[in-house]
Amino acid sequence: MTPRRVTVTPGALAHRIAINGTDISAAVSDATITLRAGDVPEVDLTLHTYEIDRMDLPNPQIHIPAETRDALILLGWTPPDDGQDEGS
């Protein structure tokens, strides 16, 4: 995985989390930072998502909140090409 710079800035009511300078705080519901001597620090992020175990619908439309989508793309995810222009 490509290394990324993670910055956590404390705030009065909430912390700000940025990856490579891009604020993804709105997409993060939980963060855990693990520091071990001699190892690269690990940051585990839980993003706002909805869990669905089963969906028996023809042609369902799946909505990913914009903040979560942007955070996933920043982390290397490539969204599928659904053949639609963004914003439609």
Contact 34, 41 (CB under 8 A): yes
Q: What is the pLDDT of residue 66?
A: 83
Cβ-based neighbours of 51, under 8 Å, separated by 6 or more: none
Structurally, the chain folds into a number of domains equal to 1
Q: Does the residue 82 lie in any domain?
A: no
Tens-binned pLDDT, residue by residue, of the chain (88 aa): 677 888 999 988 888 999 889 898 988 888 999 999 999 888 888 887 666 667 777 877 777 778 888 888 888 888 877 655 454 4
Q: What is the pLDDT of residue 35?
A: 93
Q: Does the residue 88 lie in any domain?
A: no
Q: What is the pLDDT of residue 88?
A: 42
Q: Does the residue 80 lie in any domain?
A: no
Q: What is the pLDDT of residue 11?
A: 87
Q: Does the residue 87 lie in any domain?
A: no
Q: Does the residue 36 lie in any domain?
A: yes
| pTM of the entire predicted model | 0.61
Which residues span the domain enclosing 46? 6-51+60-74
Q: At residue 33, what are phi and psi to the nearest 5 degrees?
A: -110, 125
